[in-house]
Structure 1
Amino acid sequence: MITRIIYDKRGQIISQIQGSDLYTPVGIPYLDIEIPEGKYVTGIDVSATPNVAVFEDLQKTEIQNLKEENTKIKLALAELAEMVAGGVA
């Protein structure tokens, strides 16, 4: 989904709007961007021409961290089971 970001001359974000029928400001800098999954916009780099959005990674939630840890444990158990089964044969 397209996000329209309206910003000032220093790159500070004033407004972020998503949608398909967006108002186009006159005389105010803006960018229409696609925000990648797992990222968010922190500002606009106005030193680049054309100006570009600055992205950072979203913080993982506790549930996401627990799911990753659970997956690692399951893989370690599967490897251990293979070693035990291989040693018994």
Structure 2
Amino acid sequence: MKTQVFFAALGMALALPLPALAADGHQQGGAGHYEWRQVPQFGPRATGPTQKRVWVADKAQMADCDCDMMKMSPDDCMKGMHHMGAKPSAG
């Protein structure tokens, strides 16, 4: 009798945390959010579009700096490098 109670308690202890471990991997991997999207229904008894909850990853953000180098045009980029016509090093 003691063995059955022990195994029942052990089974419950192992089974209770399983729903918490079964969470979506999307949440752990990166930043994002859930949003509702419309999904069409097909068939003769379709009641119209329904909504489904989907995970949307955040977009990567571009660097936004105000330095002079980033403001240059491609034509002016190499203009200030007057030493480019010099002899290469002997190394």
TM-score, scaled relative to structure 2: 0.27
User: Which one has a bigger Cα radius of gyration?
Assistant: 2
Q: Which has the higher contact order (CA 8 A, sep 6+)?
A: 1
TM-score, scaled relative to structure 1: 0.28
